[in-house]
Structure 1
Amino acid sequence: MRNCARIALAAICAVIVGLVSARADDYPSAPIHLISGFPPGSTADISARVVGARMGQILGQQFVIENRVGAGSSLAAAQVARAAKDGYTLYVGNAANVINAAMSSNLNFDFYKDFEPVALITSTPTVLAVTPELGVQNVKQLIALAKAKPGELSFGSSGVGSSTHLALELFNRLAQVKITHIPYSGSPQVITDMLANRVQGYFSPASTVMGHIQAGKLVGLAITDPKRSSILPELPTMIEAGVPDFESVLWFGIDAPAGTPQPIVDKLARAANEALKSDEIVNSLKSQTIATLGGTPEEFRKHLESERKRWTAVVEGAGLRK
């Protein structure tokens, strides 16, 4: 009887494996929906549309980009977490998801358990920008000034718990300074007040601030990526500028609902990496201050674990856990 049971179980497993393989071979046979938690024109949206369009050409099916904005991308994430595990509904995962998970215990999904990483696709440099009136030309001068005037300098952010806020908290922690945080509803409002010298600094997405830096209205001190950016090669990293271990990357990737068959995940990953090697894609995104990434699902998973450790420590150190 035991032998019969083993044979029957093996037969069932063989059928299941065969069905999954057949489904992967046929995949995709319908349009793929890629859900972004940020509005049209945002870096997440641009990345999804440019990379998704090329992936659609590679896979022979259209990528339909949908924007579901709200709760720091959590509304979109919750929608995809509950979607069918068939590879036809995907999510634009991003740094905000890691920060949200570190800050709140009340999310109705688990970003690490409910998603299957497919591939990192893009990042955009974050620039430490300050007002000319502050009178500093590099990060060491900024640190010296902040230490001489604890709590007197103020930096804006695009909201409590945003990546721009957490970058400031990380700077305060690593540089051992106290710069006051002023939350705004978005980047345009921060820039408006910086230009009026009502706040003195901002860890800003490059696309938001570079025009003002090039016009001499603001001063760019460094980028927060761990390596110099090919998009902004003239700016040092924060590590080069004298703040060891400082890393804050605005990254975006493609995630599938957990439980999506691995052959489908692998097929999507291959298409994403092929798309990201296209000179046309690279140049199109670079013109919008967006860098292409790539890599395997396992490399994406390791990246998420590194991000989780970093931002959990920052959130807990700043007392931001809800």
Structure 2
Amino acid sequence: MDNAARLLAQAMGPLLGQPMVIENRSGAGGAVGIDSVAKSSPDGLTLALGSTGAVAVNASLIPNLAYDPRRDLLPIGLVTGVPSLLVLRPGLALDSLAVLLDQARRKPGGLTFGSTGPGGTPHLAAELMKLRAGIDMVHVAYRGAAPAITALLANEVDCAFLDLGVLLPYVREGRLRPLGLTAAERSPALPAVPTMAEAGLPGVEVENWYALIGPAGIPPDRVARLAGAMQGAMAQPETARRYTDQGMRIIASGPEPAASFIRAEMEKWAEVVKRADIRPD
């Protein structure tokens, strides 16, 4: 997220006629940073690049969340998104998603999947796959993508869904084998890798999206100006190239489509969190 935010700030600042300062506030799956924005003055000067987890998942995952995304946040626009990629550890001799699912059905609980932590997009993608396919696999949580990838390479876990961008070097080098992309279409970054639907399991579309978010109450004219600057920044060829080189999809939607999309995402992931009985650390 840090890199995505810095790319956006570098391109938006000149369009707004003022620099944009990045302040990292990590913790609680992004909740700490989003809460600080939710409680800030609605003058359009304090914004966040909110992710799927912080904006759409935390409300159903974290008890007594300090902010209400529907009441306290104002989406200015969806900026970009990156799908998850299902990859296998090097020593697992399975050559397709169908074979993986067949083995999982024959031996419930016999396969393991890694994630970046409970309730993160990689965890949710795997739980959604389990629900859609009717299989059981054992979840092994790590603290971030780097430890999860290390575990895959060391054959500690069988498979994992992780953001496409972080997996690109390992897939291109042949160190991890891809089975399916959680997107509606194939990625230009890995055109030979099928989507999950093409691989035989529809209904597993997962994207770690990023939205430009402000506190509720920002005047409409300022919202329009911020949204216009964001869309103008994302339309710049060099900015777009730097995102797509990292496996990200350019979205650059306005406030109303962003708000509608986020509401749908909240409902989608609330159901998965409930059915899979996902709980935070």
Q: What is the TM-score normalised by the length of structure 2? A: 0.95
Structure 2: 5+ residue runs without aligned partners?
Answer: none
Counterpart contact for 1:102–1:321, Cα < 8 Å? no
Cα deviation, 1:218-241, whole Å, max 9, x if unaligned, reads 101111122222333222111221
Distance 1:112 1:232, change over 3 A: farther
Alignment of 1:100-249 (within 5 A): 100-249=58-207
1:295 match = 253
The 2-side partners of 1:60 and 1:247 are apart by 38
Contact in 1 for aligned 2:186/2:193 (Cα 8 Å): yes
Q: Structure 1 regions of 5+ residues with no counterpart? A: 1-43
User: Corresponding residue for 2:221?
Assistant: 263
Ranked by relative contact order (alpha carbons within 8 Å, sequence separation 6 or more), the top structure is 2
Letter in 2 for 1:143: L
The answer to whether the 8 Å contact 1:117/1:300 transfers is yes
Q: Is the 8 A contact 1:231 1:291 kept in 2?
A: no
Larger radius of gyration: 1
Structure 1 residue 169: Cα displacement: 0.8
Deviation at 1:197, TM superposition (A): 1.0
CA distance in 1, matches of 2:259, 2:144: 29
Q: 2:82, 2:190 → 1: CA distance?
A: 10
Q: Could you say which residue in structure 2 is the equivalent of 1:278?
A: 236
CA contact (8 A) 2:86 2:162 kept: yes
Task: Render the CA deviation track for 1:72-129: whole Å, top value 9, x for unaligned.
Answer: 1000011001100000000111101211112123111111211111011111231100
| Alpha-carbon distance, 1:321 to partner | 5.6
Measured in 2, the distance between the counterparts of 1:93 and 1:190 equals 23
2:21 corresponding residue in structure 1: 64
CA contact (8 A) 1:99 1:163 kept: no
- The question of 1:47 aligning with 2:14 is answered no
CA distance in 2, matches of 1:228, 1:249: 13
% identical equivalent positions: 35
Q: Is the 8 A contact 2:119 2:279 kept in 1?
A: no
Number of aligned residue pairs: 279
1:166-214: CA deviations, max 9, x gaps?
1111111001110110011111111112111110001011232222222
Supply the distance in 2 between the matched residues of 1:273 and 1:159 (Cα, whole angstroms).
Answer: 32
Distance 1:321 1:143 in 2: 25
What is the CA RMSD across the aligned residues, in angstroms? 1.3
Structure 2 distance, partners of 1:198, 1:143, is 19
Report the alpha carbon displacement of residue 149 of structure 1 after superposing the two structures with TM: 1.4
The residue that corresponds to 2:33 in the other structure is 76
Q: Which residue of 1 aligns with 2:277?
A: 319
Once the two structures are TM-superposed, the CA of residue 287 in structure 1 deviates from its matched residue by 2.2
- Residue 228 of structure 1: SS of its match in structure 2? coil
Give the whole-Å Cα distance in 2 for the aligned partners of 1:191 and 1:160.
16
TM-score (norm 1): 0.84
8 Å CA contact 2:118–2:278 kept in 1: the answer is no
Instruction: Tell me, in whole angstroms, the C-alpha distance in 1 between the residues paired with 2:99 and 2:254.
Output: 40
